[in-house]
């Protein structure tokens, strides 16, 4: 029996320190499994770009038709309607995609037959989910920048940016949305078909979160519903930070609420995902779709 | 040193479910029923059984992809349920499907991706892939092509390349040569032998192709309806034989004679005694690893009991015959058709 294998631990990690393994996985998940696979479907790339921009121009033309394109509106804290919906659409897409991202990733892996092999590896399922979300985050950030860029360069939106507020609000929004994304991932592991959590969230936020019109337009009781999602607080902070140069201190309340959402939704999402993963190991349906 | 694999009274029952509330629920399925066996480090252990026997379920429990209902399974002394993360680092799995890679990535890119999950650095991966790919006939040009352009044979070979380069202490193979032509199947068998034997890797092999088992396995277990029916050597050329002695007489006399013999010291040398009567000839069948002692003792005993021996037949243990016999024996009797009258 020649060349006996090592007795304990991960038998194949002899050559890399841990941080290098983390960076390598981040790169391979983002570039190989993310970008190369995504960009190989050219029609999908074209349709994604169109999907980012069509709603922006749609609502711009509507605003022009109604004569609300360029004027400052008091109900919108003095912003123009175009500036209001550009920020709303940019971040609503960001959040909706993040919520649906992990569920979609799991479904893709189930259909490609790779899910069992990924979950069989020494990389933990939690880490696999974290790495899997990286490309989606990059793509969503790109979409947000593109929409904001079109708003600035093509539609004439004037930005007065407070970078700390925007970065902090974006990070908190991303983390709290990832928590909901974990809930959606747990749901897809259980139900196999459809993505009801992400679909409901997209429809709900489009209507209630102050994306296309201010929350104050909604009836009083419904306004209460609007503040059940972090995007509503996020858009308040982001519009302030992007359009009026609002500081972190002046946006402390919405930022704090998003932090609370993140602290609740991420552990809840992780718990539900692990519980569902365990259930699929009982009934033998990890790779079933 | 702990066993490479130790399975004790392992059972798995898949819960029944109800798809439509107005229909009765589907009943629970017993996939494994108190299975116990051990595999020594460096051993190639095969599981054979008809489709649905529980082979893949067993592989998945040992791979941490399924949870057992009861019993225990240990990999190198660690419980596969409580030490799940440790267990995963010990195992590479080759499944019987080609759908386990990213179709839009090349063979190389797929190998890089999966190797990174096992924390293998690129330079280490390159040094490991070259000899394995060469032995499997996967050229650099093939590895740089998109996986979606691969033939079934290439897809299976890439699975083996991935499993071999991980160099885990244990390798689980689920029907390794299914859907392969004879030449490719032989290449795969050769590669398994060279890679696993050379490194002392423990292999658990689930197979329907008995040629794989005879060529590769040190020991084989027949599993049927979730139960382990037998564990033995895959080929009896040197070890096991079936002895059949044909005598003239009645089945009752022969059975009484065999009872007397099988309860004594010679009886312990044979795994099984069977008596079958057909057209006045009684066939006494014994499975033994010690033909030299069993045959003379059997003939002497039968002669003393007054049974005339017509013919003695020594046959090597043939896995396929044994497999069919075991499966046929446990098949339920067909129910009588209801009378129309």
* Bridge pairing between strands B44-48 and B202-207: parallel
Whether the per-residue pLDDT at A162 is higher than 60: the answer is yes
DSSP A278: H
Residue B324 domain-assigned?
A: no
Chain A residues in contact with B203 (beta carbon < 8 A): none
Q: Are residues B134 and B36 in the same domain?
A: yes
pLDDT at residue number B266: 72
Domain count, chain B: 2
Please tell me if residue B34 touches chain A, with a CB cutoff of 8 Å. Answer: no
CATH code at position B275 = 3.30.70.600
Comparing alpha-carbon positions, the chain B residue that sits nearest to A1 is B200
User: Does residue A193 have a pLDDT over 50?
Assistant: yes
Looking at the structure, tell me whether residues B37 and B174 fall in a common domain: yes
Q: Which of B232, B252, B281 is the last residue of a domain?
A: B232
What residues contact residue A240 under an 8 Å CB cut-off, 6+ apart? A77, A162, A165, A246, A250, A251
Residues B158, B205 within the same domain:
yes
Residue B312 and residue B245 in contact, taking contact as beta carbons nearer than 8 Å:
yes
Residue B119 contacts A where some CB pair is shorter than 8 Å? yes
Asked if residue B321 belongs to a domain, the reply is: no
Which residue carries 């996939």 as its tokens?
A: B31
Q: Is residue B107 part of a domain?
A: yes
Of residues A143 and A205, more confidence is placed in A143
150-179 in chain A: CB under 8 A from chain B: none
Residue B286 belongs to domain spanning: 242-316
- Determine, for residues B102 and A33 on separate chains, whether the beta-carbon distance falls below 8 Å: yes
Nearest to A37 among B64, B89, B102 (CB): B102
SS3 A130: helix
Band of the pLDDT at B283, cuts 50, 70, 90?
confident
B100 and B183 assigned to the same domain: yes
Which residues in chain A are contacts of B66 at CB distance < 8 A? 281-282, 284
Same domain, B227 and B246: no
Q: Of A30, A42, A43, A117, which to mutate for an interface test with B (greatest number of B Cβ within 10 Å)? A: A117
- B258 and B225 within one domain: no
Whether pLDDT at A8 is above 60: no
Helix (H, G, I), strand (E, B), or coil: what is residue B20? coil
Chain B, residues 221-280, CB within 8 A of chain A, namely: none
- Claim to verify: residue B67 and residue B153 sit in the same structural domain: yes
Q: Cα–Cα distance between A94 and B119 in angstroms, integer?
A: 32
CATH number at residue B202: 3.40.50.300
Cα–Cα distance measured from residue B67 to residue B80, given in angstroms and rounded to the nearest whole number? 9
Collect all residues with Cβ–Cβ distance below 8 Å to A18 and sequence separation of at least 6: none
- Give CA A27 to chain center in angstroms: 19
The mean predicted confidence, pLDDT, of chain A is 85
pLDDT at B333 over 70: no
Question: pTM here?
Answer: 0.79
Contacts of A267 (CB under 8 A, 6+ apart): A179
User: Residue B97: inside a domain, yes or no?
Assistant: yes
Structural domain ending residue among the three candidates B201, B232, B263: B232
Same domain? For B210 and B258 the reply is no
Are B209 and B260 in the same domain? no
Residue B216 belongs to a domain: yes
Distance CA A245, CA A247 (A): 6
Residues B254 and B144 in one domain: no
Q: pLDDT band for position B334 (50/70/90)?
A: low
B61 and B202 inside one domain: yes
Q: Which of B60, B114, B198 sits opposite A117 (nearest CB)?
A: B114
The whole-number average pLDDT for the span A254-274 is: 93
So what's the ipTM on this one? 0.83
Q: What is the mean pLDDT of residues A236-246?
A: 92
* Residue B318: predicted pLDDT: 65
Query: Residue A28: its pLDDT value, please?
Result: 94
Give pLDDT tens digits for A94-113.
888 888 888 888 888 888 88
- Interface check for B108 against chain A (CB to CB < 8 A): the answer is no
B39-61 confidence digits (pLDDT tens): 999 999 999 988 888 999 999 99
Note the pLDDT of residue B339: 43
For residues A229 and B244, give the distance between their C-alpha atoms in angstroms, rounded to a whole number. 79
Pick from B100, B109, B198: CB nearest A32: B109
The predicted pLDDT at position A5 comes to 42
Q: B128-165 burial, b if ≥16 CB within 10 A, otherwise e? A: bbeebbebbebeeebbeeebeebeebbbbbbbbbbbbb
Any idea what DSSP says for residue B316? E
CA-based radius of gyration for chain A: 21
Q: Indicate if B298 and B155 belong to the same structural domain.
A: no
Exposed/middle/buried for residue A50 (C-beta within 10 Å: 0-12, 13-18, 19+): exposed
Whether B144 and B108 have beta carbons less than 8 Å apart is answered as: yes
The whole-number average pLDDT for the span B311-335 is 69
B85 touches chain A (CB under 8 A): yes
Within the 35-54 window of chain A, which residues sit less than 8 Å (CB to CB) from chain B? 36-37, 40-41
Q: Which residue intervals of chain A are DSSP H helices?
A: 18-27, 37-40, 42-65, 81-112, 115-120, 125-153, 163-191, 196-208, 220-226, 230-243, 252-283
């Amino acid at each position: 029996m020649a060349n006996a294998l090592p007795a304990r631990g991960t038998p194949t990690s002899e050559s890399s320190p841990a941080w290098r393994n983390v960076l390598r996985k981040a790169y391979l998940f983002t570039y190989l499994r993310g970008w190369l696979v995504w960009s190989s479907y050219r029609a999908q790339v074209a349709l994604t770009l169109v999907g980012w921009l069509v709603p922006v121009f749609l609502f711009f033309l509507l605003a022009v038709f109604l004569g609300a394109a360029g004027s400052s509106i008091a109900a919108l804290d003095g912003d123009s309607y175009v500036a209001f919906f550009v920020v709303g659409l940019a971040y609503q897409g960001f959040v909706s995609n993040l919520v649906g991202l992990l569920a979609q990733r799991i479904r893709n892996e189930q259909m490609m037959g790779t899910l069992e092999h990924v979950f069989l590896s020494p990389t933990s399922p939690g880490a696999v989910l974290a790495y899997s979300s990286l490309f989606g985050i990059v793509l969503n950030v790109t979409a947000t920048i593109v929409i904001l860029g079109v708003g600035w360069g093509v539609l004439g939106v004037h930005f007065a940016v407070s970078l700390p507020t925007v970065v902090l609000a974006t990070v908190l929004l991303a983390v709290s949305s990832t928590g909901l994304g974990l809930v959606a991932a747990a749901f897809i592991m259980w139900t196999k078909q459809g993505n009801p959590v992400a679909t409901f969230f997209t429809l709900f936020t489009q209507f209630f979160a102050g994306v296309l019109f201010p929350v104050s337009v909604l009836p009083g009781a419904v306004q209460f519903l609007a503040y059940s999602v972090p995007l509503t607080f996020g858009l308040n902070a982001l519009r302030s930070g992007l359009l009026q140069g609002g500081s972190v201190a002046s946006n402390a309340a919405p930022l704090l609420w998003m932090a609370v959402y993140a602290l609740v939704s991420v552990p809840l999402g992780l718990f539900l995902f692990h519980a569902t993963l365990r259930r699929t190991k009982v009934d033998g349906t990890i790779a079933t779709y | 040193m702990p066993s490479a694999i130790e399975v004790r009274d392992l059972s798995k029952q898949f819960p029944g479910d109800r798809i439509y509330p107005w229909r009765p629920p589907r009943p629970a399925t017993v996939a494994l029923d108190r299975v116990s066996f051990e595999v020594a480090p460096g051993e190639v252990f095969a599981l054979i059984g008809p489709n649905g026997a529980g082979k893949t379920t067993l592989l998945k429990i040992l791979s941490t992809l399924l949870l057992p209902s009861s019993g225990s399974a240990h990999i190198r002394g660690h419980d596969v349920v409580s030490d799940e993360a440790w267990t995963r680092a010990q195992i590479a799995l080759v499944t019987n499907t080609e759908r386990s890679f990213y179709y839009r990535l090349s063979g190389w890119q797929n190998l890089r991706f999966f190797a990174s999950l096992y924390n293998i650095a690129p330079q280490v991966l390159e040094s490991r892939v070259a000899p394995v790919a060469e032995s499997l006939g996967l050229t650099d040009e093939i590895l740089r092509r998109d996986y979606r352009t691969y033939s079934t044979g290439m897809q299976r070979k890439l699975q083996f390349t991935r499993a071999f380069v991980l160099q885990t202490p244990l390798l689980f193979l689920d029907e390794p040569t299914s859907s392969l032509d004879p030449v490719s199947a032989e290449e795969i068998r050769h590669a398994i032998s060279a890679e696993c034997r050379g490194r002392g890797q423990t292999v658990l092999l689930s197979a329907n192709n008995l040629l794989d088992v005879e060529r590769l396995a040190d020991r084989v277990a027949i599993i049927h309806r979730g139960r382990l029916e037998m564990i033995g050597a895959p080929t009896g050329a040197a070890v096991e034989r079936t002895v059949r002695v044909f005598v003239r007489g009645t089945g009752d006399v022969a059975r009484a004679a065999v009872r007397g013999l099988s309860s004594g010291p010679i009886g312990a040398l044979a795994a099984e005694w069977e008596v079958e009567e057909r057209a006045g000839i009684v066939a006494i069948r014994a499975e033994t690893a010690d033909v030299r002692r069993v045959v003379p003792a059997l003939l002497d005993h039968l002669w003393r009991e007054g049974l005339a021996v017509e013919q003695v037949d020594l046959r090597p243990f043939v896995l396929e015959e044994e497999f069919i016999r075991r499966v046929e024996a446990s098949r339920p009797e067909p129910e009588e058709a209801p009378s129309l009258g």
